[in-house]
Amino acid sequence: MSTEIKKIENDISFDIRGAAFKVHTTLGPGLLESVYETALAYELTQLGYSIKIQVGVPMIYANIKMDVGFRLDLVVNDLVIIEVKSVETLTDVHHKQLLTYLKLTNKKLGLLINFNSYPLKDNIVRIVNNL
């Protein structure tokens, strides 16, 4: 079953990249993250995916559950996390943030996409957690 999960996540990742390229080609760089997030969610919904936006994830610290520890930008089919950025340059902290999200949610695959860039293909980063 593990191989099947990987194939599903990798197929989703392929479609996410295609949708991101479509959004970037249409809108270009320089807009707010929320604009890209909304457009990307729309494109993925058009492809038949189940999309959750700004998903609050509780955090447990010192054995206390805190209602919202952080928010995931997009979650596709409850399998792949997308972290949307619109920054000059992706930094190590952006990569670490997504990896932490994957670990805390037990998800295996995430994509970090910086829409404020050109070419976009050089600013889509695949981050895995035991995939």
pTM score above 0.75? yes
Burial 34-48 (b: 16+ CB within 10 A, else e): eebbebbbebbeeee
pLDDT in tens, 69-107: 789 999 999 999 999 999 999 999 999 999 999 998 999
What sign has the CA pseudo-torsion 26, 30, 31, 36?
positive
89: CB partners within 8 A, 6+ apart:
114
pLDDT in tens, 48-75: 999 999 999 887 788 888 877 789 999 9
